[in-house]
Amino acid sequence: MLPAIEVKQVCKHFGNLHALTDIDLEIHAGEFFALLGPNGAGKTTLISIIAGLSLANSGSVNVMGHNVRTQYQQARRNLGVVPQELVFDPFFTVREVLLIQSGYYGIKENTRWVDEIIERLDLTEKANANMRALSGGMKRRVLVAQALVHKPPVIILDEPTAGVDVELRQTLWDFIKQLNQDGHTIVLTTHYLEEAETLCHRVAMLKEGKIVALDSTQNLIGKMIAGKSVRLRLLPDTLPPALQTLQISHHGGMAELRIENYAQVEFILSSLRSADVQILEMRLQQPDLEDVFVSIMRDNGNQSR
Amino acid sequence: MTGFFTLLYKELLRFWKVGFQTILAPMVSTLLYLLIFLHVLEAHVEVYPNVAYTIFLIPGLVMMAVIQNAFANASSSMIQSKISGNIVFILLSPLSYRAIFFAYILASIVRGLLVGLGVYLVTLLFFDIPLQLPFWALLFVILGSAILGALGLIAGIWADKFDQLAAFQNFIIMPLSFLSGVFYTIHSLPIAWQYLSHLNPFFYMIDGFRYGFFGVSDISPYISLLIVAICLLAISILAIRMLKTGYKLRY
């Protein structure tokens, strides 16, 4: 199937600074994809190149099969971008902004769809308010709405939840999940890794302009052997010798034991039983995307040093 | 075409919504110029036979208002969009660079013409101004405002700060328009200055425009037309090229 976004061998530098080096990335149609990385890793630069806001020094980018340079009009019709910065045009009201944006995409009559997005993003009360009069969260919603006026098959959101309150974050994600279920490809960057973990099928991690991990969210977490552990509060608080080799730490009255897989839990339980140690409290620690992120960023740092 | 018309509509709405500042204020300042020159110079000069200085001055002032406002429209719209960042909405859209160019230029022409027409209509209340060849006058006012719109677009794209735009306006546009024969005929100048005036493209706009009113001009209107048309073409090509390559817009 035609990939939604195809990035081939893309390099970008600003003077001596290599913002992106040899980026290869294919995002499939219908995916919910996260682009993660610390500040300055090149996420926004990559998004800008896909959107045509920035021009790569080499390599090529296609959106729904259209090259972003040579077939820029088709490529941009297929793409909706929510920029990271809270930008707005102070001359217009929310509804004017959305109808004007529709016109840029060649859509003459778009009132019904514009009204629908206004309603779904909870902007109805502010529809006729000037952009200047809107709070930050409201402006963010308008940015999302502006990216959707032309019903693009591919939607990129650059940190859509930065500085947004919990309630709006929920509304926003529900809406975006719905768009994904309706068949839109979603690409997002975020610093909230638990959001990426629950929403995204696949994740790419960028560091210093390079992709350092690219896999499904499950696989990435699954590969984190080091992250699995069992924390136990015991009576008496002493581990039987057979378990002492597994111990990673002991603090707050709880012993933490490393496990390779969940079958080992049975071994721990039986060892405790035969040593006549009572379990007062037990917690299974599973690695999450944040552990993966931290470990990958750290490993990669060691390699490059 | 919908994209082009939408951008044009947006550009028109942008200055229309602040019409006090974009139309009325420049009208008032131009009429103030007229009032002052009228008071100081009326008795002194007769430029063309049977054309009083005031009557000679009015088309020049109208054209100067057109020039300055056409330039201001494209340049301030572009730099404001760039600095506030909302230029991304245009850059993200599939609008072709030609559509962007023509929308900005046409909006500049409309603003220039509105201010110019406003000044002209007000002066008509007080003076009897001939308009012998309206087609010539219209042709030059449209070409002149198009050139200034394109220059404004170039300046707006080029400037990174308001400061640089102000420099462009004060050190290039203002001298060229003030020294183009708005207030005088170049035949009244020393030879060297006459020669220099011929290097100023704004001179041909104003001379040609004035020809539309009085049927006389410093040089042949056909030559002026040719020079103005060549200038417009060259400046337009430059502006379109900047938009096409994304100069200072797409990093």
Q: Is the predicted pLDDT of residue A149 greater than 90, yes or no?
A: yes
CA pair distance A242, B35, nearest whole angstrom: 103
Contact B140, B219 (CB under 8 A): no
Q: What is the mean pLDDT of residues A182-198?
A: 88
A106 vs chain B: nearest CA distance in angstroms? 5
Tell me if A103 and B96 make a contact (CB, 8 A cut-off).
no
B246 vs chain A: nearest CA distance in angstroms? 9
Tell me if A101 and B93 make a contact (CB, 8 A cut-off).
yes
Average pLDDT of the residues of chain B: 92
Tell me if A87 and B10 make a contact (CB, 8 A cut-off).
no
Q: Chain B contacts of A76, Cβ < 8 Å? A: 92-94
CA pair distance B215, A259, nearest whole angstrom: 98
CA pair distance B43, B98, nearest whole angstrom: 50
Q: Chain A contacts of B81, Cβ < 8 Å? A: 89
Nearest of A267, A271, A270, A232 to residue A251 by alpha carbon: A232
DSSP B36-79: HHHHHHTTT-EEETTEEHHHHHHHHHHHHHHHHHHHHHHHHHHH
Question: What is the distance of C-alpha B4 from the center of its chain?
Answer: 22
* Six-digit token string for B98: 């030609």
The pLDDT-based confidence of A300 (bands split at 50, 70, 90) is: low
Tell me if B10 and A48 make a contact (CB, 8 A cut-off).
no
R_g of chain A, CA atoms, integer Å? 24
CA pair distance A79, B149, nearest whole angstrom: 31
Degrees to nearest 5, angle at CA A93 with B158 and A52: 40
Its sign, for the CA torsion B96, B97, B100, B105, is negative
What are the helix (H) ranges across chain B?
A: 2-16, 19, 25-41, 53-84, 88-91, 97-126, 134-158, 162-168, 174-178, 191-197, 201-214, 221-245
Q: Chain A contacts of B13, Cβ < 8 Å? A: 91-92, 96
- A84–B contact, CB cutoff 8 A: no
Q: Chain A contacts of B85, Cβ < 8 Å? A: 83, 85, 87
Q: Is the predicted pLDDT of residue A220 greater than 80, yes or no?
A: no
Place of tokens 């378990």: A243
The maximal CA–CA distance of chain A, rounded, in angstroms, is 78
Each residue's pLDDT tens digit, A108-144: 899 999 999 999 888 999 999 999 999 888 899 999 9
Its sign, for the CA torsion B172, B174, B178, B182, is positive
Q: Is the predicted pLDDT of residue A301 greater than 60, yes or no?
A: no
Each residue's pLDDT tens digit, A16-45: 888 999 999 999 999 999 998 888 889 999
SS3 at position B99: helix
CA pair distance A98, B120, nearest whole angstrom: 38
Share of chain A above pLDDT 90, in %: 47
Per-residue pLDDT at A225: 60
Q: Is the predicted pLDDT of residue A304 greater than 70, yes or no?
A: no
Q: Mean pLDDT by 10-residue block, N- to C-terminus, for chain B (251 residues)?
A: 93 92 92 85 69 85 94 96 94 95 97 96 90 94 97 96 94 91 81 87 94 91 96 97 94 86
- A87–B contact, CB cutoff 8 A: yes
Each residue's pLDDT tens digit, A256-289: 888 887 788 888 898 889 888 889 998 887 777 7
DSSP A63-90: ETTEETTTTHHHHHHTEEEE-SS----T
Q: Chain B contacts of A146, Cβ < 8 Å? A: 89
Place of tokens 């610390």: A38
CA pair distance A55, A148, nearest whole angstrom: 23
The pLDDT-based confidence of A305 (bands split at 50, 70, 90) is: very low
Its sign, for the CA torsion B93, B154, B152, A89, is positive
Chain B residues interacting with chain A (CB cutoff of 8 angstroms): 2-3, 5-7, 9-10, 13-14, 17-18, 81, 84-86, 88-96, 246, 250-251
CA pair distance A190, A173, nearest whole angstrom: 12
Q: Is the predicted pLDDT of residue A93 greater than 60, yes or no?
A: yes
Q: What is the mean pLDDT of residues A58-77?
A: 94
B81 vs chain A: nearest CA distance in angstroms? 8
CA pair distance B231, A209, nearest whole angstrom: 45
Q: Report ipTM (2 d.p.).
A: 0.88
Nearest of B189, B188, B11, B183 to residue B87 by alpha carbon: B11
CA pair distance A255, A290, nearest whole angstrom: 22
Query: How many A/B residue pairs have CB atoms within 8 Å?
Result: 79
Gap between the terminal Cα atoms of chain B: 27
Q: Which one of A79, A89, A155 would you mutate to disrupt binding with B, by most B Cβ within 10 Å of its Cβ?
A: A89
Share of chain A above pLDDT 70, in %: 97
Q: What is the mean pLDDT of residues A70-84?
A: 94
> Searching chain A, which residue's CA lies closest to the CA of residue B17?
A91
Nearest of A267, A261, A231 to residue A249 by alpha carbon: A231
For B173: left if phi > 0, alpha if psi spans -120 to 50, otherwise beta; the answer is alpha
DSSP B211-235: HHHHS--SS-HHHHHHHHHHHHHHH
The pLDDT-based confidence of A12 (bands split at 50, 70, 90) is: very high
Q: What is the mean pLDDT of residues A156-174?
A: 85
